[in-house]
Structure 1
Amino acid sequence: MNSPVPVLLAFLALSACQGHTAARPQTSSFLKESIRLLSNLGETTVSCDKMNVTNIFAGEKRDDDMETLCKATAVLQESQSCHGNLEGVYLNLLKLVQRHSVVHQPPCALAAGNTTSLSEFLEDLRRVLQRLVKDWNLK
């Protein structure tokens, strides 16, 4: 009857280690799924493609990755009524920011200023997500 205790302890230790390493693949999955959804959106034309949204990618200032993703969730939240796939991208990015950032929690404030078309914003976002997948897979 003493054998279940060591087995339980070993299981708990393995579970704790596995949870830490599983965070990266799940993050990568959220990013890759978002890239896939954005690519599909780029192949379709919708009436709101020309809609103006805040251009979080404009200017010289470089946000950290989580701040950029947080701001992107705010833009997507405002725009998700345009196309059904935007909701999926919004939810994926929201989960990433909530899990990986203590400082930046949605909804992030967007400064008034430069705007761009929704289609340009989505293309810029897709490029940023592709860079993040590459960067995070190298770490």
Structure 2
Amino acid sequence: MSILARVLLPFLALLACQGDVVSPWTHTLRTNMLRESIRRLHQLQHTQVSCNEMNVTDIFADSKHGDTMELLCKAATVAREGWSCHRHLEGIYTNLLGLLRGHRLEHQAPCPVAAGSTTSLRSFLKELHQVLQEKYKNQK
């Protein structure tokens, strides 16, 4: 059997089985995405760059009662807007989209963010770090 057939067959089988079922492999992948995002956010918080004070939409302003997945979808939008400043935000954006995979918001991601109150990029990164740490702690 050729190498192409060995790779293509499992790939096609995985595509056929897509759905809302979370397999152990998917859980491990999401856990790794969370850990990697938390690590990158920690690094970003300790990196001094001029755009740390740039204004971004404050998606955390009234998120206390909101849906965590919707919050992560909006965070992906803000991360995408800021990745010209911090190259690591591109990886965080990609990981946030991966965390949304299989969720109803996946088709909208990144979610639209309404203009409203703003915060600094530094504050956004700190809040997102806390949200991801909480999500990681709750999934164990």
Count of residues in correspondence between the two structures: 120
1:101 aligned onto 2:92: no
Aligned residue number for residue 132 of structure 1: 135
Instruction: State how far apart, in whole Å, the 2-side matches of 1:60 and 1:107 are.
Output: 17
How many percent identity over aligned positions? 47
Deviation (angstroms), 1:84: 1.0
Aligned residue number for residue 55 of structure 1: 58
User: Which structure has the highest helix share of the two?
Assistant: 1
- Amino acid corresponding to residue 65 of structure 2 in structure 1: R
Instruction: State how far apart, in whole Å, the 1-side matches of 2:131 and 2:137 are.
Output: 10
* Contact 2:63 2:71 survives alignment (8 Å): no
Aligned residue number for residue 110 of structure 1: 113
Deviation (angstroms), 1:112: 1.1
- Gap change, CA 1:100 and 1:136, over 3 Å in 2: farther
Deviations 1:2-51 (A, max 9, x none): xxxxxxxxxx9xxx8xx711111111110110000000111110110000
- Gap change, CA 1:92 and 1:115, over 3 Å in 2: same
Cα RMSD, aligned residues only = 1.8
Q: Which sections of structure 2, spanning at least 5 residues, go unmatched? A: 1-12
What pairs with 1:33-112 in structure 2 (closer than 5 Å)?
33-59=36-62, 62-97=65-100, 99-104=101-106, 105-112=108-115
Shifted more, 117-126 versus 58-67: the winner is 58-67
- Amino acid corresponding to residue 125 of structure 1 in structure 2: L
* Contact 2:30 2:98 survives alignment (8 Å): no
Deviation (angstroms), 1:87: 0.8
The two structures have a TM-score, normalised by structure 1, of: 0.80
Instruction: State how far apart, in whole Å, the 2-side matches of 1:25 and 1:63 are.
Output: 25
Q: Which sections of structure 1, spanning at least 5 residues, go unmatched? A: 1-11
Instruction: State how far apart, in whole Å, the 1-side matches of 2:81 and 2:66 are.
Output: 20
Instruction: State how far apart, in whole Å, the 1-side matches of 2:63 and 2:30 are.
Output: 27
Question: Secondary structure of the equivalent of 2:119?
Answer: strand
